[in-house]
Amino acid sequence: MNQQINLYLPEFVVQKDPFTAVLMGQILAAAVVLMALVSAWDLVGRWRLGSELEALQATLAEETRKTAALEAQVAQRSQDLRLLAQLEVAEARYASALQIRDFLSDTKLGNMDGFSEYFKDLSRAAVEGLSLSEFEFSEGGEQISMAGQVLNSAIVPRYVNSLENGQSSMRAKTFSPSIVRSDADALLFDFELSTTHE
């Protein structure tokens, strides 16, 4: 009896080993290449980080040097006694100026327009042969007194008349003159003028 056997049946097919030496070599070579690439990338990254670290350390050292220099300057200035004394004087002047400002803002000083018109009248009333040696405004310009010397006693009434005809509030005042000669041989008369408010 003859029997045919089909050698192509799955039972008779020889199974190939999937892990051959060539395939294993290729996988191993690929793994080595991959590890080499990863190692190279890591080395490049470390080199870059090292360069950046060196640059940052140099910058830090420079900034530390600058900070130390500034701290030394501040310490030197704080120890400079002359500068501290000048600062104290400036602060005292500032405080004094504030006190004066506060005083002036809270105080009624009488004639708040000033005495410039009085000075104008004094200069306009100038008479040859008469000189003023002193004058005083008090009570905000309500009281005026002056003294001086004159060559002739007759000049004083003319001077008083000029003052009473001035443009300031002196014209509303009456001057009382006093004329004396200190010595019989003296060439000049001493005079004093004072006002009373009308």
Res 116: pLDDT: 74
Q: Which listed CATH number (3.40.920.10, 3.30.420.40, 3.40.50.10470, 3.30.1360.100) goes with 116-197? A: 3.30.1360.100
Quick one: three-class SS letters along 98-144? HHHHHHHHHCCCCCCCCCHHHHHHHHHCCCCCEEEEEEEEEHHHCEE
Binned average pLDDT, 10 residues per bin, the chain of 198 residues: 68 65 84 93 92 92 92 76 83 90 67 69 82 84 86 85 76 80 78 75
Structure tokens at 179: 């004329």
Res 15: pLDDT: 64
∠189-190-196 over CA atoms, to 5°?
A: 125
Res 65: pLDDT: 93
On the 0-12 / 13-18 / 19+ scale of CB atoms within 10 A, 132 is: middle
Q: How far apart are CA 127 and CA 156, in angstroms?
A: 9
Res 5: pLDDT: 67
Q: Chain-centre distance of CA 101, in angstroms?
A: 21
Residue ranges per domain, the chain? 18-107, 116-197
CA atoms within 13 A on the CB side of 53: 6
- Identify the three-state secondary structure at position 80: coil
